[in-house]
Amino acid sequence: MGRAPCCDKANVKKGPWSPEEDATLKAYIEKHGTGGNWITLPQKIGLRRCGKSCRLRWLNYLRPNIKHGGFSEEEDNIICSLYMNIGSRWSIIAAQLPGRTDNDIKNYWNTRLKKKLLGKQRKQQEAQQSRRAAIFKQEMIKRSENNANFVNISAGFFNQNPYNWPELPVVPVANYQTHDPQLMQDEASIKTMLINLGGRFSHDSDTSTTSFQYPVDISSTSSSDHQFYQSSIDVLASTSAANSNNYSQFPSTNFDASNGTGGSSSPTIFHGLDDQNNNLQADHLNQLTELEVYDNSLAHQHQQLGGFYYQASEETLNNGSSAGTSTASAESEISWGDINSLVYSTQMVADYETCCQQAVVVPQDQHSFFAEATYFGLK
DNA sequence: AACTCCTACAACCGCGAGTAA
DNA sequence: TTTACTCGCGGTTGTAGGAGT
């Protein structure tokens, strides 16, 4: 059984409002108000319009102090910031912008803002990508000078057949940022890489080959995988002697040796928009995905945005500090009644550009280390 | 000039929430 | 508690006008 119509569809006019209709509606409401019943209002004033249509016309165009067009930069930022935080709750967003209607903001976002932001984002990501590629390349050259074993593996990827990387065992999502060349400092970075691939060291300070637990039964993996791990461990052991870096700066993992799944092996990675309860995570992921795929040339970025994460240190996770990258944990505490904090809080992203800069893109496949090389165009 | 395509935005539709009887 | 009704919201569609060919 269908829903009962709100009015007699056959006897109501549809389409654009005439100036006469506008004048009639406006004059009546200014004099008598809506009377608390939009459905009966059009009959009272002799308009052949649906009550809902009258309400929409009044709210969006006829009521006083309505602004149309000419969105300011500040308004853009507010819209973006709120959209990133609460999604397409246009009425809530409109409430933060005096004179703007939800319909106006919705149209503005769909037709202009989304595209405008996409252009900015693309430029930033291209610049960032080329910066990272240069640093990454430099790091690999440096590393190859230090260890022949390692370069035997890496050269295979970068120079011969970058797309035919060995089948690493299935391990939990690796943390892209710990593979960031800027963070990969000798043995510390290698150790972190291995940890993020699902491995585990018995002690933080122990970097010997024997203390390393492979993420899965290594015998079941290919020889090249084994060699990769072994080479990494060798590099780690040899450089460790000459360098006493403090590993405690890196997050420990919860690798579960009993099943090799790694458990929650990336404890400091969590979804930037996950509030645990209200599915914003999925909503926003979809929205971001939509942004990314808007331009097919960004397909590789889309792939990487399969995971869109913030990273926080153990410390910020534990104490909910507002410092650094703890925005996500802070965000999860924000209630709907505290909407202004979503726009103006210094903890929160002030605008979309900043948001993009703070976001850490995490490749979701277990080959992220190698995928990174391909992503950087190191062939 | 005529046609097509694109963009912006006004308006509609259907649904869920709220409320009064 | 149930039902009928209205309100308000978000997604979608329709259309006018501009740009491009």
pLDDT tens digits along A239-287: 444 343 333 222 222 223 333 333 322 222 222 333 333 333 333 434 4
Distance A88 CA to C10 C1' (A): 8
Higher pLDDT, A2 or A71: A71
Lowest mean pLDDT among A4-8, A80-84, A106-110, A170-174: A170-174
Distance A56 CA to C9 C1' (A): 11
Domains identified in chain A and CATH numbers? 9-62 (1.10.10.60), 135-249 (no CATH)
Distance A281 CA to B20 C1' (A): 37
Residue A16 CB lies within 7 Å of the nucleic strand C? yes
The pLDDT-based confidence of A323 (bands split at 50, 70, 90) is: very low
Locate all alpha helices (DSSP H) within chain A, ordered by sequence: 19-32, 41-45, 51-57, 73-86, 90-95, 102-108, 114-146, 148-155, 186-196, 223-242, 280-293, 299-304, 314-319, 327-331, 339-344, 352-358, 368-375
pLDDT of A277 = 35
Q: Which of residues 66-85 of A touch strand B (CB under 7 A)?
A: 68-69
Q: Edge to edge, what strands does the sheet with A360-361 contain? A: A269-271, A308-311, A360-361
- Count other C-beta atoms under 10 Å from residue A38's C-beta: 18
Residue A40 CB lies within 7 Å of the nucleic strand C? yes
Residue A371 pLDDT exceeds 80: no
Distance A50 CA to C2 C1' (A): 28
Q: Which of residues 157-176 of A touch strand B (CB under 7 A)?
A: none
pLDDT of A255 = 28
Instruction: Give the three-state DSSP class for A310.
Output: strand
Pairing of strands A212-213, A200-201: antiparallel
Nucleotides of B under 7 A from a protein CB: 7-15
pLDDT of A133 = 74
Residue A56 CB lies within 7 Å of the nucleic strand B? yes
The pLDDT-based confidence of A216 (bands split at 50, 70, 90) is: very low
In whole angstroms, give the CA distance from residue A160 to residue A114. 40
**E strand segments, chain A:** 200-201, 212-213, 269-271, 308-311, 360-361
pLDDT of A66 = 84
Structure tokens at A155: 């050269």
Lowest mean pLDDT among A103-107, A138-142, A150-154, A161-165: A161-165
